[in-house]
């Protein structure tokens, strides 16, 4: 499947129209997070820029005793913003944990997922979570059982829509059979530096599911999931060259590239500062020409071939 030059200012998740660029709120609560004033200012800057999708999770925290830190933060930020935040769709996730030593755990037990979803709803201050996502399949739990718990949550009215994260094509198809219309999105890692999940993006396009690439700026910017010792990202990529030619940031070019891959794609770049999310949000209005996209693709394929040699 090839990219097109069409870039839209909005995307659709289920029956909800949202901004074409969302805010990945994870960096506001994990290691290296800003103070609360800056974190809330970053959320407000996103809303000012027209962002109407915020992605969070109960496991987006730093220390072991602060489960739900990011959900609490988002709830406070939206409340402080006032009525202008009424149309914001908040997506959260359950099924992972953070012991506080920098590692991640996974728990897809249906009992845990049901408890986690109810606790997330309380922290977010909502009767029903807009979009609830299985954060990662648990190899110790049958996938169908974890997904079945999400269907129960939807049927009970605890969540409005259901999503999956870190899944493969077979798991998407299995979940589709179990969840039916409740399944609306898939959130997988995807970026210029990580295209191994392209098959899941294409499947989402075919099935009418929204594809939320996490860490979408991989290869362009460091993300909250990068190892602090991994060094700075490259600054000599085709995206940087095109950004200089267009007079915009390489991050904007990268996000516009994402949007051009499919009408199903809705990037959720992270941000720790108001300036970062303002710049990212502006990518929704940046249209790359067919020639520019083709040039990025040719250079990108060449780079992948060099890596395989």
Q: Is the pLDDT reported for residue 285 higher than 70?
A: yes
Looking at residue 299, its pLDDT comes to: 63
Q: Please state whether 231 falls in left (phi above 0), alpha (psi between -120 and 50) or beta.
A: left
Q: Is the pLDDT reported for residue 217 higher than 50?
A: yes
**Average of pLDDT values for 107-112?**
98
Q: Is the pLDDT reported for residue 4 higher than 90?
A: no
What are the pLDDT digits (tens) for 135-164?
A: 999 999 999 999 999 999 999 999 999 999
Helix (H, G, I), strand (E, B) or coil at 162: strand
| 132 labelled catalytic | no
Are residues 258 and 216 in contact, defined by beta-carbon separation less than 8 angstroms?
A: yes
Residue-wise over 197-206: b if at least 16 C-beta within 10 A, else e?
A: beebbbbbbe
Looking at residue 207, its pLDDT comes to: 98
Query: Residue 218: pLDDT band by 50, 70, 90 thresholds?
Result: confident
CA gyration radius for the chain? 18
Measure the CA–CA gap between 281 and 196, rounded to whole angstroms. Answer: 25
Looking at residue 235, its pLDDT comes to: 73
Are residues 187 and 165 in contact, defined by beta-carbon separation less than 8 angstroms?
A: yes
Query: Residue 236: pLDDT band by 50, 70, 90 thresholds?
Result: confident
Helix (H, G, I), strand (E, B) or coil at 165: strand
Strand 96-97 versus strand 105-106 pairing type: antiparallel
**Average of pLDDT values for 68-78?**
98
Q: Which residues contact 67 (CB under 8 A, 6 or more apart)?
A: 58, 59, 61, 97, 98
Query: Residue 49: pLDDT band by 50, 70, 90 thresholds?
Result: very high
Looking at residue 7, its pLDDT comes to: 38
Of all residues in the chain, what percent carry a pLDDT higher than 70? Answer: 89
In the set 60, 81, 132, 182, the catalytic residue is: 60
Q: Is the pLDDT reported for residue 173 higher than 80?
A: yes
């Amino acid at each position: 499947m090839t990219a097109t030059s069409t870039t839209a200012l909005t995307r659709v998740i289920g029956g909800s129209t949202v901004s074409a660029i969302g805010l990945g709120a994870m960096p506001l609560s994990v290691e290296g997070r800003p103070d609360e004033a800056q974190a809330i200012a970053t959320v407000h800057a996103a809303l000012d820029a027209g962002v109407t999708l915020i992605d969070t999770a109960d496991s987006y925290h730093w220390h072991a005793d602060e489960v739900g830190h990011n959900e609490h933060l988002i709830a406070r930020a939206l409340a402080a913003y006032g009525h202008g935040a009424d149309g914001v769709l908040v997506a959260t996730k359950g099924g992972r944990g953070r012991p506080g030593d920098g590692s991640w755990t996974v728990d897809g037990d249906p009992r845990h997922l049901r408890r986690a979803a109810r606790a997330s709803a309380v922290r977010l201050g909502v009767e029903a979570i807009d979009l609830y996502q299985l954060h990662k399949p648990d190899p110790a739990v049958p996938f169908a059982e974890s997904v079945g718990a999400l269907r129960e949550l939807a049927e009970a009215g605890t969540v409005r829509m259901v999503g999956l994260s870190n899944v493969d094509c077979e798991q998407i198809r299995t979940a589709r059979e179990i969840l039916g219309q409740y399944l609306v999105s898939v959130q997988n890692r995807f970026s210029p530096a990580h295209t191994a999940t392209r098959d899941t993006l294409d499947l989402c396009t075919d099935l009418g599911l929204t594809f939320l690439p996490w860490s979408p700026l991989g290869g362009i910017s460091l993300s909250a999931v990068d190892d602090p010792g991994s060094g700075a990202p490259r600054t000599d990529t085709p995206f940087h060259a095109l950004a200089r030619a267009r007079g915009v940031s390489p991050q904007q070019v990268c996000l516009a590239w994402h949007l051009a891959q499919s009408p199903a794609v809705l990037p959720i770049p992270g941000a720790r500062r108001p300036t970062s999310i303002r710049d990212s949000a502006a990518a929704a209005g940046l249209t790359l020409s067919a020639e520019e996209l083709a040039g990025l693709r040719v250079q990108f394929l060449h780079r992948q071939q060099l890596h395989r040699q």
